[in-house]
Amino acid sequence: MSHPDNPPLATPDTSAGIPTRMTDETTHLPAETGTTRRSFLQTAATGMGTLAALTAAPGLAAQQNPNAQNKVQLSPINNTATEQSSKTPGPYLPPGRRVGYAIVGIGRLSIDQILPAFATSKYCKPVALVSGDRNKASRIAAQYGIPDSNITDYQNYERLKDMPGVEAIYVVLPNSMHKEFTVRGARIGKHILCEKPMATSSADCEAMIAACKQANVRLMIAYRQQYEPMNRFLQETVKAGKLGKVRSVIASHSQNEGDPTQWRLKRALAGGGCLPDVGVYCLNGTRFLTDEEPEEVTAMTVQPKDDPRFAEVESRCSFLLRFPSGMVATLTCAYDVHHSSFLRMEGTEAMAEMDPAFGYHGAKLRFSKLGEADCFGIAGTSGDPKERKEVEFHPEMPDKDQFALEMDHFSQCVMNNRQPRTPGEEGLQDQRIMDAIYKSAATGHTVRIPPPNGPTRGPLPEQNG
């Protein structure tokens, strides 16, 4: 969700490392103990084999990391027989070879998350700012080494065309403004990374896709969760069949909004309330983790009359999605309750739960599956080491900056002329489903959801350490 800085008034736009280490919650034994753990760890070999192949192929490896010759790996100082070895970050591209980004809108998300993420990115750098507040923009520019000449406002947005080093634009504005600044950016030949949700209507999403195709520039929607390591591991686990057949997904993302004057509580700017802001995480997470598209939805929204925050938008939304396989997803989101975020996948052979699930940092994943009692080296209650019992698995992996990961992926797509993992078609499909959710809530009826016209996702991103 984008956070603007004094944006223009909202007038309708008329212009156009994974294998991972797993531990038992109680005994904290090494993950390699026991066949049941090993079967889960084989997910890495099954799902990530193509990544190993990329690394093994010299030509592809060079394309994957064009600065590989500058890699520095320090020798371990711990006993690697008993301690997990560390991995030195990098290598990073030198500044002159990185993709230069113009950040459009320097509000909370840009200042708190996106701009700091450039410090750990490998392939990108901030080179320009677009803001309605020149004084604030100048202070931010000074912190990131951006020349004052590379600051412009929304009215003079097209100046980005001639600014040195600007190859890509990151649109971080209220939802209803995404279309205008994507289309204008494409027309001046810049690649576009746009915050989610993609827009406020399917028609706007389609216009954004068409404009970028006509200009022959890349368009990617910033679904950061799809680049986060824990989510990727869960996705590969599901793909490898380690949960069996997924029958149910249950997810919730909720928070308590404050200032009633903020833009995300204004329908003209946000397009809705909690659904497009936080509910889209539950929706998109279900879609990409299961690789299924829903065929119908039943939904309801709540808009309390006695709360001034929700004079224009819903405070809560719950919806039930049915998929062609028979899987059902029960998803909720809210703007008027204490913060909560979790996702649970229930399969015929195992359960996976992520809690917290949708934050910028700290995702935690847990698997539960029936296995042999001695898989952790502990006999069962009967003394039989082969006694079957419920066992848990907790993947551990380094926390990585999701914004750096998504920007690096887009930068590689720009440098190598490749399709992003989350192109405009992915954002369009979410918008079509959200349109159906609102229709169901308004009519009280189940609404059919047509399948997408084609693939909505590009190839998986490289896993660059």
Nearest to 21 by CA among 4, 1, 8, 38: 38
In the DSSP assignment, the letter for residue 9 is: P
Q: Which amino acid is at 258?
A: G
Q: How many residues does the chain have?
A: 465
HSE-up of residue 380 (Cα within 13 Å, Cβ side)? 14
Q: 196, 242, 266, 369: which one is catalytic?
A: 196
Does 125 qualify as catalytic in the annotation? no
Q: Specify the DSSP element, H or E, that contains 143.
A: helix 134-144
Instruction: Specify burial of residue 287 (Cβ count, 10 A radius: 0-12, 13-18, 19+).
Output: buried
- The bridge status of strand 99-104 relative to strand 21-23 is unpaired
237: Cβ contacts below 8 Å, ≥ 6 apart? 40, 43, 47, 243, 352, 367
| Contacts made by residues 441-446, CB under 8 angstroms, sequence distance 24+ | 441/299, 441/300, 441/301, 441/314, 441/317, 441/319, 445/298, 446/296, 446/297, 446/298
- CA–CA gap between residue 284 and residue 300 (Å, rounded): 19
- CA–CA gap between residue 160 and residue 167 (Å, rounded): 9
Cα 143-149-152 angle, rounded to 5 deg = 90
- CA–CA gap between residue 399 and residue 229 (Å, rounded): 8
Q: 123, 157, 223, 281: which one is catalytic?
A: 281
371: Cβ contacts below 8 Å, ≥ 6 apart? 34, 35, 36, 388, 389, 390, 391
Does 281 qualify as catalytic in the annotation? yes
Q: What is the sign, positive or negative, of the torsion defined by CA atoms of 201, 206, 212, 214? A: negative
DSSP secondary structure of 392-447: EEEEE-----HHHHHHHHHHHHHHHT---SSBHHHHHHHHHHHHHHHHHHHHSS-E
In the DSSP assignment, the letter for residue 359 is: S
How would you classify residue 341: left for phi > 0, otherwise alpha for psi between -120 and 50, otherwise beta? Answer: beta
Active site residues: 196, 281
